[in-house]
Amino acid sequence: MGQEEGSAYFGNLDEVAKKAGEFIKRNRLASKVINWGYTYSLWPAYLVTACCGTELAAASAPRFDLERLGFLSYGNPRQSNLVLIDGTLTVKMAKVVRAVWEQMPEPKWVIAMGACVLDGGIFWNSYSTVLARDVLPVDIYVPGCPPRPEALARGIMMLKEKIKKNAGSKPGVQAGASPGTSAPEMMSGR
Amino acid sequence: MSLPKEVPFTYEALSQIELKNGVIELQVGPAHAGSGHMRIVVWVEGDTVVKVDPDIGYVHRGVEKLSEDRIYIKAIPIVERPALVDTVNANLAYVIALEKLLGLEAPPRAQYIRVITAEISRIISHLYGIAIFGIFMGSSTVFMWALADREPFIDIMEELTGARITYSHIIPGGVRWDLPKDFADRLEIALQYLERRMKDYESIWIKNPVVEARTKGVGTLSATRAVELGVVGPNLRASGVGYDVRKDSPYAAYPDFDFEVPTLSEGDSYARLLIRVEEIKQSISIIRQALKKIPQGRVIYEDYYKRMSPLMKKIYDETGRVKFTSLVTSLSPPKGEAISRVEGGRGEVFYYLVSDGGKTPYRFRAVTPSFRNLPYFTHVMPGHKLADVPVIYGSIDYFPPEADR
Amino acid sequence: MISLQVDAVVQELSGLVGDKAKVVYDQKAGFLRVETECKNAADVAKKMKETGFDHCISVTAVDFPVEGRMSVVWHVSSYTNSKLMGMLAALTVNVERARPEVPSLVPVWESAVFHERETHEMFGVGFAGHPDLRQLLLPDEFKGKWPLRKDFKLSKKREDLFNKGGAEP
């Protein structure tokens, strides 16, 4: 029993705190609540990559209203947990996207929008484009050129399902899956 | 409100600025709420901007090089995608250049349909410009309103072509879809809706004292300077030069219509906003005239219609849809050059097409209006305060994918 | 009506430039072609500006590797002169492909400043006297590569795009 400053009956406070934290993470109910919180606060970093950004703007507009899904465009990479790559990634922009990605805290996800990030789209053999998967680990792909706002909304719903599924599936896996541990999913047509 | 300082513009003085003491270089980068997909490198002394360097190319996909690798008809989506908010005018410019090379002309009904879709595209583009201008100044109300007011027109174009914004509707020889039966009525409902909404914009946004304080006198460009710098579009007309390609070298069916070209003389950001609102009203008037006067007939060039198979002709007669014959998909215009100029929503679109008789273009030069508005950054922004940078940027309606192509 | 105006402009411009340039109206293409040599380009440009062509729409180059030349074209038009509004003139200079050097026309038409920068980085054409000839659209890795020349081939193949694994988190 270490009688240290600030410890009365608990023993080593750091160890106990760590064990309590891991217990909470593995507990199904607690991780379910945490994941539910993640799914309803997917805040994208303010980064518009190319022309699909117009459909992202239209999706934030009143008709399709992504904000009801918890999707609030915040503006500061240090406080966001989603990167939305919309449109072609060029060599110049890829460095910026990677820099923004590395500034974001864990856990974080990536949605790649548009045909240009899937396999090049109509600009596939250009000298200055790269594919999204060579730059960031992608979780959800939303095909289309440009994808309809409803398709983007469906992609976000799929990401929510993915976040919920990975909760408590394996002991030791962080609740709110970090990307790269499960395969990216592509939205199929109805 | 203080007037901007006079900053003399010489290239030698600019290169010395970086070495002076007290001058800080800021990078208003791509992941910034005031810049869009470009980087604006700003040198400030205190709070005053002394030099601006636009760092563009973040969305450069090489449209000019790629078009040399695609057959003529496949270059249409490549040309449309950069100017995503205003696709019909880019499409129209390319097809006009191609038709000049081929030496053919589309029938009158197709020309009228081209004008109707081009004016709808102009309305959509101006509403997007107003939305982006609003969000850069911090007003999410105007952003939401203007983007929602585009939706009726996007719906109408979706009824006509099947796509929301990238239609690829115009092809050499005519257009791909004829107007459906109740198109004119639905379009009239949308136009009346927009006219009612413009009154709301005037009372909330245009006569708003905050907007007037932030935009009057900011980003002024005189008429002589605007001509020397070669800027285009509503920005040019707000500075006093009344140049509009639809009047000065007309194309499609524009000579048949009666419309005005609004011009103001102040040349500041407020004038640029007012011009866009006026142009929306003029576009509504042109669409109404076109719907009244549209002639009957085919929407595809006679020669191409004759080469269609009986099944394709049956599909055209029943649904108004033009299917591509093998001639259209393997066009080889004779050797020559052609130029086309079209007034897009943001300004004059200029395409220069060189053909050597093969199936792909030999050289395709595209100059988009946003690229020609670049001098606003280097020549107009210096002298203002740092907080005026997003205001000027939003008022010139600069769209980076269009400038970078 | 249009052709009378065009003839008048051709006469006036030919009178001003003398034998430094060849002025011809290309009926089929619809623009005025002014062909000149590299050393006379600046003078001819000044005369064109006096006639009323006051801004530059585009600067570009067309590459003819088989003939060993490149032709640099400045397209200009007028905003203020009512006779010339709507008319386009193309000032063309042919240069050797091995050493493409032309004088910069920014002192005459300031609107050409960004276009000449783009033509320089895409084709490698040197514009002598341009105030600021840096990379504009391309990142620094492309310096010296000149993508729009005909011998720069687009090299991606369809197989490169198939799924071969992704980036590390």
- CATH classification of the domain holding A61: 3.40.50.12280
Over 90: is that where the pLDDT of B191 sits?
A: yes
Q: Do B350 and C57 touch (CB under 8 A)?
A: yes
B279: region left, alpha or beta (phi > 0 left; psi from -120 to 50 alpha): alpha
Query: How confident is the model at residue A186, as a pLDDT?
Result: 55
Residue A28 is assigned to a structural domain of this protein: no
Q: Which of B62, B228, B248 sits opposite C111 (nearest CB)?
A: B228
pLDDT level of residue B115 (50, 70, 90 thresholds) = very high
Q: In terms of residue numbers, what domain contains A144?
A: 43-178+182-186
% of chain A exceeding 90 in pLDDT: 0
Query: How confident is the model at residue B2, as a pLDDT?
Result: 46
In terms of residues, how long is chain B?
405
How many other C-beta atoms are found inside a 10 Å radius of the C-beta of residue B141? 12
Over 80: is that where the pLDDT of A178 sits?
A: no
Domains and CATH numbers, chain C: 2-151 (3.30.460.80)
Q: Which residues of chain C have pLDDT under 70?
A: 1-4, 160-169
Residue A170 is assigned to a structural domain of this protein: yes
Distance from C-alpha of C56 to C-alpha of B348, rounded to nearest angstrom: 13
Q: How many domains does chain A have?
A: 1
Query: How confident is the model at residue A15, as a pLDDT?
Result: 82
- Give the DSSP H/E element, type plus range, for residue B129: helix B108-136
Task: Please report residues of C whose CB lies closer than 8 A to that of A124.
Answer: 156, 158, 161
pLDDT level of residue A185 (50, 70, 90 thresholds) = low
C80 near B227, Cβ under 8 Å? yes
Q: Please tell me the least confidently modeled range out of B6-10, B163-167, C21-25.
A: B6-10
Which residue, among B153, B164, B360, would best test binding to A if mutated, counting the most A CBs under 10 Å from its CB? Answer: B164
Q: What is the average per-residue pLDDT within B7-34?
A: 70
Task: Please report residues of B whose CB lies closer than 8 A to that of C70.
Answer: none
Average predicted confidence (pLDDT) for chain B: 87
Residue B225 class from Cβ within 10 Å (0-12 exposed, 13-18 middle, 19+ buried)? Answer: middle
Query: How confident is the model at residue B124, as a pLDDT?
Result: 92
Query: How confident is the model at residue C166, as a pLDDT?
Result: 57
How many other C-beta atoms are found inside a 10 Å radius of the C-beta of residue B209? 7
Over 50: is that where the pLDDT of A175 sits?
A: no
Query: How confident is the model at residue B365, as a pLDDT?
Result: 92
pTM across the whole model? 0.88
Nearest CA in chain B to A116: B61
Which residue, among B56, B59, B63, would best test binding to A if mutated, counting the most A CBs under 10 Å from its CB? Answer: B59
Nearest CA in chain B to A123: B61
Task: Please report residues of B whose CB lies closer than 8 A to that of A45.
Answer: 31
Residue A12 is assigned to a structural domain of this protein: no
Which residue, among B27, B35, B37, would best test binding to A if mutated, counting the most A CBs under 10 Å from its CB? Answer: B37
pLDDT per residue over B43-78, tens digit each? 888 888 888 888 888 889 888 989 888 888 888 988
Strands (E), B289-372: 336-343, 348-355, 363-367
How far does A135 lie from chain B, in Å, by closest CA? 15
Q: Do C156 and A120 touch (CB under 8 A)?
A: yes
Residue A51 is assigned to a structural domain of this protein: yes
B300 near B312, Cβ under 8 Å? no
Distance from C-alpha of C9 to C-alpha of C51, rounded to nearest angstrom: 8
Residue A142 is assigned to a structural domain of this protein: yes
Residue A33 is assigned to a structural domain of this protein: no
Task: Please report residues of C whose CB lies closer than 8 A to that of B62.
Answer: 147
pLDDT level of residue B35 (50, 70, 90 thresholds) = low
B364 near B357, Cβ under 8 Å? no
pLDDT per residue over A78-131, tens digit each? 888 888 888 888 888 888 888 888 888 878 888 888 888 888 888 888 888 888
Distance from C-alpha of A68 to C-alpha of B12, rounded to nearest angstrom: 53
Over 70: is that where the pLDDT of B312 sits?
A: yes
Close Cβ partners of B338 (under 8 Å, ≥ 6 residues apart): B97, B98, B100, B101, B352, B353, B355, C29, C30
Neighbouring chains to C with at least 3 Cβ pairs closer than 8 Å? A, B
pLDDT level of residue B196 (50, 70, 90 thresholds) = very high
Q: What is the average per-residue pLDDT within B173-185?
A: 89
Nearest CA in chain A to C161: A119
Q: Which of A51, A75, A123 sits opposite B66 (nearest CB)?
A: A123
Domains and CATH numbers, chain B: 63-374 (1.10.645.10)
pLDDT level of residue A2 (50, 70, 90 thresholds) = very low
Q: Do B61 and A48 touch (CB under 8 A)?
A: no
Q: Do B372 and C62 touch (CB under 8 A)?
A: no
Residue A144 is assigned to a structural domain of this protein: yes
Task: Please report residues of B whose CB lies closer than 8 A to that of A100.
Answer: 31
C25 near C10, Cβ under 8 Å? yes
Query: How confident is the model at residue B14, as a pLDDT?
Result: 64
Residue A77 is assigned to a structural domain of this protein: yes
Query: How confident is the model at residue B37, as a pLDDT?
Result: 83
Q: Which of C29, C55, C154 sits opposite B230 (nearest CB)?
A: C55
